[in-house]
Structure 1
Amino acid sequence: AQKSKPMIVKNRRLKMSPGGIITLPVSARKALKMEKGQGCRVTVAVENNAVILAPTNKTGGFRVSPKGQLELRGEAQSTLTAGVGRHYWMECNDGSGVLKLNPFK
């Protein structure tokens, strides 16, 4: 098994809305193994001041719309709110399907 290196997307375009909605770009949707035109479910966890998204089964977790929109609540939302202007940067790992969102400091 080839160990894939996480891809880091660090730009100012990624931003969470005041209501806690984030839109995942295509690279992130690919990392989460989303099919084109279909939503998916993800688990949301907070570790070391970063939000971790991982794909889960059809019933658990939070829904991601086919366009990649996801509503963050609670601790995950406050983690990204702490970043400068609600901006965040992400690390995608296609191999493990894990997505890590880090607030800009």
Structure 2
Amino acid sequence: AVTADATEGEKIFQQSCIGCHAADANDTRPPAARLAPNLANFGDREMVAGIAENTEANVKKWLKDPESMKPGNLMTGKYGELSDDEINALTAYLESLKIAK
């Protein structure tokens, strides 16, 4: 079930993240058009950015300051500052992204 926070997070994703990331398991864009990983299964993943355990705290830390976790990553500086409420909502949305088994 998608929570109210996740619904707000989806709006933030559509405004801030969709320029580089897809969140669609059926993404048919050619690889060259994909600037960043498809996050359609983010909630199923064991790792955040390939470097940290996929926990709520690590997702929030990554969204707040990706450079502190993975220097030189491509997300740093790509979007404006997110408020704590926006980070909470975006985390809820990302964790809700799972591929139905």
Common fold by TM > 0.5: no
Q: TM-score with structure 1 length normalisation?
A: 0.29
Greater share of helix residues, 1 or 2?
A: 2
Greater share of strand residues, 1 or 2?
A: 1
Q: TM-score with structure 2 length normalisation?
A: 0.30
